[in-house]
Amino acid sequence: MAKTKLLFITHEMSPFLELTKISEITRQLPQAMQDKGFEIRILMPRFGNINERRNRLHEVIRLSGMNIIIDDNDNPLIIKVASIPSARMQVYFLDNEEYFQRKQVFRDNSNKFFEDNDERTIFFCKGALETVKKLGWSPDVVHCHGWMTALVPVYLKTTYKDDPTFKNAKVVYSVYNNCFTEKFDSDFSRKAIMNGMSAKHTDMFKDGDCDSLHIGAIAYSDAVVYGGPEISEEVVSFVKNSEKPVLEYENTLDYENYYGLYEEIANEDLVSLA
């Protein structure tokens, strides 16, 4: 029987970038699933404060060279890779000079939220899916961690729904409570539209705040994980009304529960673990 293929998309992962609890989860969970027999791939941005020499990142020439279009502008996508020897796992890093080669992650030295965080999010989500296509690797489950991955579910269910790489993929979205209080650029929902989409597909994202990103992602996901104990009431209410399978926060401490969720949705037998 073929291994279940599991794709993780995240903005942080230990030991490369450790901002919040997400980095610990995205380091331990993939290894736990690999130990269960899953085939794993991990994608994250190559933020400028990730030390390439210490972490032994190197460019993957065969994957680099694509352009990601945002608001009619071509943005070169460079792909780098690093290994975690102790885990026998490879992590792919998406890089771009304009969006990621600065020493801060989401805020400048004055703690000001970067004005282009909306475009950086679009670039990362589009680039992640194009990278997986170029890998020629078809995931059974795509697990998105946090707000910077929020557009991946809608892209998978619209633009990529008939793509051979993704047409059978199920989507899990993890909601975390470490977010931002600002709003994205007012044009975010328009700029996020891809081929095969219309304004209605990104309408949920138009407010550009953190809850809107979470709700938009959840609307197009097959299952939801509460990655923290304090999720906003608006998001929780939306999840309840959606009747999607949910892995409650207290159950995330045991990785066996993730395994059960992945297996259930990969087999299209959606059962709530709440």
pLDDT at res. 267: 79
> What is the spatial distance between Cα 214 and Cα 220, in angstroms, rounded to a whole number?
10
The class (CATH top level) of 5-266 is: alpha beta
**Does the CA dihedral 47-53-56-60 come out positive or negative?**
positive
> CA 170, 137, 213: angle at the middle one, nearest 5?
40
Residue 171, amino acid: V
Q: Are 147 and 22 in contact (CB under 8 A)?
A: no
pLDDT at res. 53: 87
pLDDT digits (tens, 9 = 90+) for 26-72: 999 999 999 999 999 999 999 999 988 888 999 998 888 899 999 88
pTM: 0.94
> Taking residues 99-113, what's their average pLDDT?
94
Among 234, 224, 105, CA closest to 175: 224
Q: Taking the domains of the chain in order of start, what are their residue ranges?
A: 5-266
Residue 16 half-sphere exposure, CB side, CA atoms within 13 Å?
Answer: 30
pLDDT surpasses 80 at 250: yes
